[in-house]
Amino acid sequence: MPFSKKGKCFAIIRTAAARKRIAQYEKTQTVLSELKLKFEMTEQEKQSITDELKQCKDNLKLLREKGNNKPWPWMPMLAALVAVTAIVLYVPGLARASP
């Protein structure tokens, strides 16, 4: 049975609607591909930052351990001051004698 004029218009409209849906689908697929690429790049960047943070934490831990094992820098000076004070106070002739 041949298409009637009304049937032809409906077929054209359906074809146009199908083309529009296909174009929308392709656009959606393009956007989805771009988002997947951005996601992968973001995940790689996140992993890189995580690795760098771990390395910084390890370095900080090593520095803290190194700092804890290092003797206090003022300790020798304090020991010398105590020794000089003791000598001045307890060695006769170095302390001022009262007249």
Average per-residue pLDDT in the chain? 83
Residue 85: the pLDDT is: 86
Q: Which residue has the higher pLDDT, 96 or 99?
A: 96
CA–CA separation, 54 and 62 (whole Å) = 12
Query: What's this model's pTM, rounded to 2 decimal places?
Result: 0.50
**What's the 3-state SS for 16-81?**
HHHHHHHHHHHHHHHHHHHHHHHHHHHHHHHHHHHHHHHHHHHHHHHHHHHHHHCCCCCHHHHHHH
27-74 pLDDT, tens digit per residue, is 999 999 999 999 999 999 999 999 999 999 999 999 888 877 766 777
Residues 78, 84 contacting (CB under 8 angstroms): no
Residue 58: the pLDDT is: 94
